[in-house]
Amino acid sequence: MKIEIDRRPLWLLLLLKGIRPLSFLGIAFVFWYLLSIPTPEGLTLAGRNAIAIFLVCLFLWVSNLIPLAVTSILAIIMVPLFGVLTERETFALFGNEAVFFILGAFILAGAVMHSGLSKRIALSIMGRFGDSSRGLVRAIFLLAAILSFFMSEHAVAAMLFPIVLEIAKGLKLRPGRSNYGKLLFISLAWGCIIGGVATFLGGARVPLAVGILKETGGETIGFIEYTVAVFPVVIIMLVVGYNVLVRLFPVDIPEMADTGGLLSRRLQELGKVSYNEYAVGTIMFVTVLAWVFLGGRLGLAIIALTSVVVLFIFRLVRWKDIEEYVNWGIILMYGGAIILGTALDKSGAAAWMADQTIGAWARTPWVVIALLSLTALVLTEGISNVAVIAILMPVGIGMASKFGIDPVIITFSIAVPAGLAFCLPMSTPANAISVSSNYVGVKDMAKAGIFMGITAWIAFNIVARVYWPIIGLGF
């Protein structure tokens, strides 16, 4: 038996051993301090506690001192323990539609992978773009964005995830270590996010914001009007996003010029398309159509879970075939994030933070727009973008009358940035699904996402200042 002796200095070993407990001791001290300070004016005791819990969980999510799912479990414990919500309210929130949508998405992705369909599609894509490693990244990035113009970005991420995973496995990339693996999965997430703000169909936040606008101000925004106003932001973010990715994560694999013959042979080895592939592919196609045309009426989760049941009715998969594809940690993480976001909302903490941030600095219409868009960008990293809309829209419309700003412009300034969450996996299912691959970590996503968030804010405000007056959206 080979024995290895650690020759590092004793003081260094003791320091390394002590960093972890000292970190938790520091977190506990900060949490205690936040709970012991006097409650600020306008903030309830429950709201103060919610902010303290949020800051602790946010640090743990980013630092990854404990697994992401365990941090979410901690949030689930602390929210009722410190009186932010009751136990009944807290645990009921875990049944949120988004949690079950992600569950259904994982199972559908597992079925596509188990049937071999994703491998066939992945090999075809690699064969088409196999002569260029960057060409493959561009294809995934742009395909995710364009599909998100016409369907929920969540659905696009769920549909493309197994294909990208097959590509990563086919290239034998090392999870968590390969720059190219990180590049592929962040491209998938960012393509979905950027494309998801282009139209009303990319997510629920825009229809919700327009509904609040109509109820409170009597105005509305048309489908084409919205897309015309937002599309320059989408184009800028697509160009910047691709260039940021290829520079932050340089390609660390050889060019794929010689893989064409190998890929062709691999495709031939798969043989003819099987009944299972046809059947699973058909169900996936119908599911995507249902997400596009019936998602608003039935809900994404209902459609996803219905498709899952159909898979088992026709015996296309067995539970043991797909359970390895279900990332329960991500599901726990997202459920905890939803609970924490709702706790911030219901306790009044989120509204208080928004009001303090915007109300304390707003002096002119342009400052109001800049602060609203910045607040939406920051909040959407930690809580649901739908919750961000619900929190900020009433505050924003109130400030519109105070500063003489068109409420339509206020709506754009909240709804668009609220969809641009690039940093954290709990921000959007697209990020969560990408992180679940294990090829990209939270730190990788946050490192690249911070720059993208800043860029998104600057791009949005430049478009609002320069382009909007041209199309009649002046102040």
**201 pLDDT more than 80:** no
Q: What is the mean pLDDT of residues 414-428?
A: 85
Contact 434, 175 (CB under 8 A): no
The 10s digit of each residue's pLDDT in 330-380 is 777 767 777 887 788 788 887 777 667 666 666 778 888 888 899 889 888
**49 pLDDT more than 50:** yes
Residues 6+ away with beta carbon under 8 Å from 447: 248
- Between CA 413 and CA 420, with CA 416 as vertex, the angle to 5 degrees is 125
CA distances from residue 108 to 141, 153, 330 in whole angstroms, order as listed: 21, 16, 16
Dihedral in degrees, nearest 10, Cα atoms 141, 145, 151, 156? 10
Instruction: Give residue 475's pLDDT band: very low, low, confident or very high (50, 70, 90).
Output: low
Nearest CA to 376 out of 466, 279, 473, 456 is that of: 456
In 3-state terms, what secondary structure has residue 178? coil
Predicted pLDDT at 423? 83
404 or 434, higher pLDDT: 434
**470 pLDDT more than 50:** yes
Contact 389, 208 (CB under 8 A): yes
Residue 177 DSSP symbol: T
CB atoms within 10 A of CB 192: 33
Q: Is the dihedral of CA 408, 411, 415, 418 positive or negative?
A: positive
Contact 65, 20 (CB under 8 A): yes
The 10s digit of each residue's pLDDT in 228-271 is 899 999 999 999 999 998 888 887 776 654 445 555 666 677 77
In the chain, where are the structural domains located? Answer: 97-193+255-328
Predicted pLDDT at 110? 82
The 10s digit of each residue's pLDDT in 178-190 is 888 889 899 999 9
For the chain, the residue count is 475
Residues 6+ away with beta carbon under 8 Å from 242: 137, 138, 141, 187
Alpha-helical (H) ranges within 2-83 are 10-36, 45-63, 68-81
Q: Which helix (DSSP H) or strand (DSSP E) does residue 350 occupy?
A: helix 349-359
Query: Rounded CA gap, 246 and 249, in Å?
Result: 5
Instruction: Give residue 149's pLDDT band: very low, low, confident or very high (50, 70, 90).
Output: confident
